[in-house]
Amino acid sequence: MDQAAPAEAYSPYRVFSAERWAQFRADMPLTLTEDEVRRLRSLNDPVDLEEVRRVYLSLSRLLSAHVEASQLLFEQRKVFFNSDNAVKTPFIIGIAGSVAVGKSTTARVLKELLARWTSSPKVDLVTTDGFLLPNAILRRDNLMERKGFPDSYDVGAILRFLSAIKAGVRNVRAPLYSHMTYDVLPGAFVTIDQPDILIFEGINVLQTRDLPSDGKVVPFVSDFFDFSIYIDADEALIHRWYVDRFMRLRETAFRNPDSFFHRYSQLSADAAHAIAEGLWKNINLKNLKENILPTRPRADLILRKGEDHLVEEVALRKL
C-alpha cells in the first residue's frame, strides 16, 4: 500500500512502507562499502549497507531529480531575466529531528551518496551545532539548561550564513563545535565555497517564529531550503536511544579527561542512568515536544524509524 490510510485521505503526504520505497531506487548504483557505512554512522546507530540499499538509494534518486529540476529552473530564469551573469546557487537540503534519532548518520550517508553521482557534484555538510551561543554567554543568560532550544542559537548568524550561500558568495565560513568540550571552538571555522549541494543538519532547522503584524519579512532558516527531511520515531524509542547512547558514551568518550562530561564517567551505572533520565525529561523531551516535533509537518520527506532504529515508513509530500 503506497497511499495514506482512509483516515489520512487529506494528508499532504504519500506514505510508503520501507519495502515499497526500496523499489524506487531503480538503477541508482550502490557506491558505498560496508566499512564506509560503519565509519559514517553514529554511536548506537545500526544502519548498515542493507539499510542504505533499502532506504537511501531511493532517496538519492529522488534528490537527483529535484536537483536536476532546480538546475533547469535556474537556466529558465536566466532566459527570463535575460541575464548571463547569474551565479548558480547551491541546492540546500535541511535535515531535522530529535537528539539521538539518527540525523547525523543520515546527513553523512547522504553526503557520500550524493557526491558519488555520475555528475560528481561538490557536496558539503554543515551542522547547526557551531551556531550555538558559546557556553559563556549561555551561562551569563541562564540558558545552559536550554542548550539546543531555539533561543540558544545565534539565529542571525545562521540566516547570514545561508543567505550568503544562496547568493553564491565564495568562501563562506561556518563556526565549528566540539562535542568533547561541549562548546563552540573559538576562532575555528569550516569554509564553504560554492558547493553544488549543501546539507544543513540540526534539531531546529524547520523552526518558525511569530509573524509580525506589520507584514514585514521575517526569514526562517527553512526559507533557504530546497528540500527538507525530518527523522522521526516514537517518543519512547527516542527516549531509550538517548539513554542508551549516554550510557555508551559514559564508557567511551566521557572517560577522556578533556570531556565536558568526564565527571559522569566517575559515577556508578545507576547514578549515571539517573542523570541521563533527568537530562532527557527536563531538557531533551521538553525541547522535542515544544520545538522539534511541531515542525515535522513542514518537512518535504519524513523518515520514520522503528524499534531497531531502522526506517520502517517514508512519507513524501505530494506535488
Q: What is the distance between the alpha carbons of residues 116 and 122, in angstroms, rounded to a whole number?
A: 9
Q: Where are the beta strands (DSSP E) in the chain?
A: 13-17, 91-97, 123-127, 172-178, 183-192, 197-201, 227-232, 301-305, 311-317
Q: What is the pLDDT of residue 142?
A: 97
C-alpha cell at 239: 527516549
Residues of the chain with pLDDT under 50: 1-6
**Alpha-carbon gap, residue 56 to 44, rounded angstroms:** 19
- Taking residue 201's Cβ as centre, other Cβ atoms within 10 Å add up to 24
Report the DSSP beta bridge partners of residue 93: 199, 227
Residue 274, Cα to own-chain centre: how many angstroms?
28
List residues bridging with 16 in a β-sheet.
Answer: 314
CB 103 within 8 A of CB 96: yes
Structural domains in the chain plus CATH codes: 6-317 (3.40.50.300)
